[in-house]
Amino acid sequence: MNPNALQALIVPLIIMGIFLFIVILPMKRRQQKIQAFLAALKTGDKVITSGGIHGTVTRVDDQTLQLQIADKVRIDVSRNAIVGYQGQAPVAENP
């Protein structure tokens, strides 16, 4: 293998390595943090949805949660619609 071919291979590998450390790994860590947050939701937690609805968790199922948003008003939402606890920044934005 001549030196020019070796240089042609090294540059793309370096770029891929930089891309991995700057983009892919932080994205994976953020996704793991979100999954841990969603798995830890329990009855009584005060949460906010991605649509801006504030409510208290009254029932937890595998894929859905029931939120009480007013007296005698309850709605079912997808777990993935929950972005954080009330009064805190969304989970994906927390450091």
Which residue in the block uniquely carries the two structure tokens 């948003």? 69
Taking the domains of the chain in order of start, what are their residue ranges?
1-40, 42-87
The CATH number assigned to the domain with range 42-87 reads 2.30.30
Q: Would you say 51 and 67 are in contact if contact means Cβ atoms under 8 Å apart?
A: no
What's the CA angle centered on 82, arms 45 and 65, to 5 degrees? 65
More confident call, 93 vs 22: 22
The model's pTM is 0.72
Q: Which phi and psi angles does 59 have, rounded to 5°?
A: -150, 140
70, two tokens: 């007013």
Instruction: Give tens-digit pLDDT for 28-65.
Output: 999 999 999 999 999 999 999 999 999 999 999 999 99
pLDDT reported for residue 66: 97
